[in-house]
């Protein structure tokens, strides 16, 4: 029977003879989904990566046991059946995904700084990033572990400290103030320490005083140097105000964009235009492919002797690779380049250019090469957007509305506009939960803004920039730069108008991790399956959406250093312990609270009594009344007074060490505790507190930082 099953498909009447009950039904279902099974390969890899993210490398016995259990469960299926093969492959993919990121994390592991360090050292510059909008030059420096420093550090220089000679390869001598890479200040916040771990950065900080050039470079980094020269050239020739965006579209250098413009682009849902990814690579590839195809087609002799699609695709692929290298070869750009090359291969072979199989192939390559990218918003947003576009355009109603036909130009334009609007709305609906999970805010007018901005960028600004760069070879590019600048001014004006509309930005408190998982899982089920079971994905998605919408705001937020505290009302009103919190801290607290309200000084909040040194807050919930004591100056309170005050409150929060005699009724979050937990979010109605390290203590960068800190304390 085993030999026959390898020849005859185990479905239909024959399956009934060899498979009882549920096995037959499962086999029939898998057979109906046979064309979709390959799409789940990156999902299997991603599941293994997600296990590592949730439990760390120490969970390898559990993931190995799970994979073995699935593999053995597959033995219950009939030999050579689709069920057995699918379960086996799923088990291997989960183990492979876990292993890839665990191995890469261990391979990239480098020491991190244990405490704040101030001193002098020599270092070789590896990379330079010019962030002129913030008046900062950011240098990645190899220290050769001098003065006990990590092998790689990142140092910020002011324009006065920076010199043009500080290019990759030079050795410099500097005095700097360095500190360990910062983790999230609040639960659910941005984790720079994670990014630094995979970039092998062990410390960050700022240069102090003048910097000495010890040894000039003996090597040249062609692409980095050309990228900087091209950025400076675009800034010089483009109309004032448009240059930073024009440079970002060509070289990917966003450091020159004004802060207010960047914020308007984010709030209007158009920030993706500034980061070189699929849109930009597609525009470049499409321009090259069409230009080469048309030019070669002008010669009948060439058209009869060569395959024009293959030549055009090869030229466009080289252009995509060159553009990726010129733009800095960041992961999103590399990911887009891979996808573009796969599309070009399909075009050259005469196959359908953009399919879900192509997206799955690109996602698989990225997950194997850069598994750490899966947890980031860039990977999730870009692949979700492309997948949504394909799924929407495969719907019968959309196909009927957008298919080519002989008709007046006005109807063609109308159909194209309909396609853009439907696609934009669908993308916004899919991407909004991802943006809310990572950033706690999203724009609600983004779909309409992008209907104008995307065609303007793709068909006006970027082609004009390409033409302008070509004519710059002959000194004739100025008119084209001016025209491109007018398009950029239009986009910036649109961004500021849209971001200023009432309700332009929707903010929500952090959703539970399981809700985000339900949103992603439900969307995958609906998008990647064809049978009726796909509609179960809608139910799962809606459950996650309901949990996201009903997620409660935290009552109290405390940053990891204990200096900043925010009290949040159910309606989003918020008060800060310290009036001078700074723009970065203010934005972070508002995002975590899911609030757009103007912060109120803590003294003006109901139920608060403050002195110069401490504040006592009274917060009422349905179940009980809570009293919180928070210090806000570095001055010590007499021990007996502090002991008495602590005994009368439920929670004590301080940025310094408090005496052991300070014993509140529930939690004492002083510096000693906060060093172990990180920032805190209190949900008083549920008697619950969430800490930064609660979900990340198993991560190698957190463990490395803790070990380094303990060593530094002992020394």
Question: Binning pLDDT at 50, 70 and 90, where does residue 20 land?
Answer: low
> What confidence score (pLDDT) does residue 626 get?
93
Distances (CA, A) of 78 to 12, 67, 70, 100: 14, 19, 15, 31
Q: Is the pLDDT of residue 147 over 80?
A: no
Lowest-pLDDT choice from 417-426, 464-473, 684-693: 417-426
Q: What is the rounded radius of gyration, in angstroms, for the C-alpha atoms of the chain? A: 29
Q: Is the pLDDT of residue 16 over 50?
A: no
Cα separation, 114 vs 675, in Å, equals: 12
Question: Binning pLDDT at 50, 70 and 90, where does residue 401 land?
Answer: confident
Domain residues of the chain, as ranges?
2-108, 117-220, 232-507, 513-549, 556-678
Q: Is the pLDDT of residue 606 over 70?
A: yes
Residue bearing the bigger pLDDT, 184 or 75: 184
Chain segment 219-254, per-residue pLDDT in tens: 655 566 677 788 888 889 998 888 888 888 888 778
Cα separation, 214 vs 692, in Å, equals: 42
Question: Binning pLDDT at 50, 70 and 90, where does residue 256 land?
Answer: confident
Q: Is the pLDDT of residue 1 over 70?
A: no
Work out the percent of the chain whose per-residue pLDDT is above 70.
94
Mean pLDDT value of segment 157-161 = 90
Cα separation, 309 vs 313, in Å, equals: 6
Chain segment 673-694, per-residue pLDDT in tens: 998 888 999 999 888 999 988 8
Chain segment 39-48, per-residue pLDDT in tens: 999 999 999 9
The DSSP bridge partners found for residue 176 are 119, 207
> What confidence score (pLDDT) does residue 3 get?
39
> What confidence score (pLDDT) does residue 666 get?
93
Mean pLDDT value of segment 301-325 = 83
Lowest-pLDDT choice from 2-6, 128-132, 198-202, 257-261: 2-6
Q: Copy the structure tokens of residue 696.
A: 């990340």
Question: Binning pLDDT at 50, 70 and 90, where does residue 22 land?
Answer: low
Give backbone dihedrals phi and psi of 483, rounded to 5 degrees, phi first. -65, -45
Assign residue 145 a region (left: φ > 0; alpha: ψ between -120 and 50; beta: otherwise).
Answer: left
> What confidence score (pLDDT) does residue 26 get?
77
Give the pairing type, strands 614-620 and 625-631. Answer: antiparallel
Assign residue 193 a region (left: φ > 0; alpha: ψ between -120 and 50; beta: otherwise).
Answer: alpha
> What confidence score (pLDDT) does residue 6 get?
40
Q: Is the pLDDT of residue 14 over 50?
A: no
Residue bearing the bigger pLDDT, 431 or 153: 153
Residue 598 DSSP label: P
> What confidence score (pLDDT) does residue 220 get?
57
Question: Binning pLDDT at 50, 70 and 90, where does residue 450 land?
Answer: confident
Name the H helices within 155-239.
192-198, 222-237
Cα separation, 586 vs 71, in Å, equals: 50
Chain segment 67-109, per-residue pLDDT in tens: 888 888 877 777 778 888 888 899 999 999 999 999 999 999 9
Mean pLDDT value of segment 288-299 = 84
Residue bearing tokens 């030079």: 170
> What confidence score (pLDDT) does residue 139 get?
93
CB-based burial, 147-162: b 16+ in 10 Å, e otherwise: eebbbbbbbbbeeebb
Chain segment 507-539, per-residue pLDDT in tens: 888 888 899 999 999 999 998 888 888 899 999
Q: Copy the structure tokens of residue 292.
A: 């080469």
> What confidence score (pLDDT) does residue 551 get?
87
Cα separation, 67 vs 93, in Å, equals: 9
Which H or E run includes 72? helix 60-73
Burial status of residue 433 (CB atoms within 10 A of its CB: 0-12, 13-18, 19 or more): buried
Cα separation, 407 vs 402, in Å, equals: 12
List, as one string, the DSSP characters of 104-144: HHHHH------S-EEEEEEEEEEEEEEEGGGTEEEEEEE-T
Chain segment 627-653, per-residue pLDDT in tens: 999 998 877 778 788 888 899 999 999
Q: What is the mean pLDDT of the chain?
A: 84
Distances (CA, A) of 643 to 522, 565, 627, 647, 674: 52, 21, 15, 6, 20
Cα separation, 490 vs 352, in Å, equals: 35
Chain segment 352-395, per-residue pLDDT in tens: 667 888 888 888 988 998 999 898 888 888 888 888 888 887 77
Q: What is the largest CA-CA distance in the chain?
A: 97
> What confidence score (pLDDT) does residue 17 get?
45
Which 3 state secondary structure label does DSSP give 484?
A: helix
Work out the percent of the chain whose per-residue pLDDT is above 90.
25
Please say whether the beta carbons of 685 and 569 come within 8 A. no
Mean pLDDT value of segment 173-177 = 93
CATH topology of domain 117-220: OB fold (Dihydrolipoamide Acetyltransferase, E2P) (2.40.50)
Give backbone dihedrals phi and psi of 161, rounded to 5 degrees, phi first. -85, -25
> What confidence score (pLDDT) does residue 21 get?
67
Which H or E run includes 556? strand 556-558
Give backbone dihedrals phi and psi of 393, rounded to 5 degrees, phi first. -80, -5
> What confidence score (pLDDT) does residue 7 get?
36
Cα separation, 428 vs 425, in Å, equals: 5
Chain segment 486-514, per-residue pLDDT in tens: 999 999 999 899 888 887 777 888 888 89
Please say whether the beta carbons of 84 and 26 come within 8 A. no
Question: Binning pLDDT at 50, 70 and 90, where does residue 119 land?
Answer: very high
Beta strands in 232-337 (DSSP E): none
Mean pLDDT value of segment 336-340 = 80
């Amino acid at each position: 029977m085993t030999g026959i099953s390898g020849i005859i498909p185990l479905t239909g009447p024959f399956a009934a003879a060899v498979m009882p009950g549920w096995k037959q039904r499962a086999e029939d279902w898998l057979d109906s989904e046979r064309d979709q099974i390959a799409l789940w390969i990156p999902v299997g890899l991603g599941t293994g990566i997600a296990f590592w993210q949730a439990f760390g490398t120490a969970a390898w016995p559990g993931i190995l046991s799970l994979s073995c259990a699935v593999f053995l469960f597959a033995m219950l299926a009939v030999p050579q059946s689709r069920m057995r093969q699918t379960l086996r492959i799923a088990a291997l993919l989960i183990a492979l995904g876990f292993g890839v990121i665990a191995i890469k994390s261990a391979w990239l592991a480098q020491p991190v700084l244990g405490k704040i360090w101030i001193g002098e050292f020599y270092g070789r510059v590896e990379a330079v990033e010019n962030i002129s909008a913030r008046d900062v030059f950011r240098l990645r420096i190899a220290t050769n572990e001098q003065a006990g420093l990590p092998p790689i550090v990142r140092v910020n220089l002011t324009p006065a400290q920076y010199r043009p000679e500080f290019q990759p390869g030079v050795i410099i001598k500097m005095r700097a103030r360095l500190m360990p890479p910062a983790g999230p200040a609040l639960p659910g916040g941005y984790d720079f320490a994670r990014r630094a771990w995979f970039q092998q950065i062990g410390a960050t900080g700022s240069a102090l005083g003048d910097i000495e050039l010890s040894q000039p470079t003996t090597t040249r980094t062609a692409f980095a140097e050309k990228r900087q020269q091209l950025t400076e050239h675009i800034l010089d020739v483009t109309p004032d105000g448009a240059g930073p965006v024009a440079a970002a579209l060509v070289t990917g250098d966003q450091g020159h964009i004004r802060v207010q413009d960047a914020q308007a682009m984010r709030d209007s849902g158009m920030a993706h235009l500034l980061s070189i990814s699929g849109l930009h690579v597609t525009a470049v590839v499409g321009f090259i492919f069409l230009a080469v195809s048309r030019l070669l087609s002008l010669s009948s002799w060439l058209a009869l002797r060569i395959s024009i699609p293959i030549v055009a695709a090869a030229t466009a692929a080289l252009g995509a690779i060159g553009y990726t290298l010129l733009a800095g070869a960041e992961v999103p750009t590399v990911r887009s380049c891979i996808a573009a090359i796969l599309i070009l291969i399909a075009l050259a072979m005469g196959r359908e250019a953009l399919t879900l199989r192509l997206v799955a192939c690109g996602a698989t390559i990225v997950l194997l090469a850069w598994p750490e990218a899966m947890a980031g918003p860039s990977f999730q947003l870009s692949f979700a957007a492309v997948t949504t576009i394909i799924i929407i355009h495969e719907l019968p109603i959309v196909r009927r509305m957008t298919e080519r036909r002989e008709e007046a130009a006005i109807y063609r334009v109308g159909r194209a506009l309909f396609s853009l609007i439907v696609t934009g709305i669908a993308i916004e609906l899919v991407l909004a939960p991802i943006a809310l999970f990572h950033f706690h805010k999203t724009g609600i007018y983004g779909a309409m803004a992008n209907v104008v901005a995307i065609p303007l960028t793709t068909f006006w600004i970027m082609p004009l920039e390409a033409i302008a760069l070509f004519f710059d070879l002959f000194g004739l590019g100025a008119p084209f730069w001016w025209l491109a600048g007018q398009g950029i001014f239009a986009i910036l004006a649109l961004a500021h108008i849209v971001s200023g509309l009432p309700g332009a930005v929707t903010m929500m408190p952090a959703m539970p991790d399981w809700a985000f998982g339900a949103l992603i899982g439900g969307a995958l089920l609906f998008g990647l399956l064809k049978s009726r079971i796909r509609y179960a994905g809608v139910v799962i998605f809606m459950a996650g959406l309901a949990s996201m919408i009903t997620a409660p705001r935290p009552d109290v937020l405390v940053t990891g250093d204990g200096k900043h505290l925010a009290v949040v009302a159910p309606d989003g009103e918020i008060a800060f312990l310290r009036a001078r919190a700074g723009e970065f801290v203010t934005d972070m607290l508002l995002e975590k609270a899911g609030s757009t309200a103007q912060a109120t000084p803590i003294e003006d909040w109901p139920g608060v009594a403050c002195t110069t040194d401490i504040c006592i807050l009274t917060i009422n919930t349905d179940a009980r009344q809570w009293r919180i004591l928070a210090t806000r100056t570095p001055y010590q309170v007499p021990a007996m007074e502090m002991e008495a005050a602590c005994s009368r409150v439920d929670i004590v929060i301080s940025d310094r060490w408090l005496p052991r005699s300070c014993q509140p009724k529930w939690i004492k979050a002083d510096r000693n505790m906060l060093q172990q937990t990180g920032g805190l979010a209190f949900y008083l109605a549920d008697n619950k507190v969430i800490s930064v390290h609660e979900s990340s203590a198993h991560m190698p960068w957190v463990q490395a930082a803790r070990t380094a800190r303990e060593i530094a304390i002992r020394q």
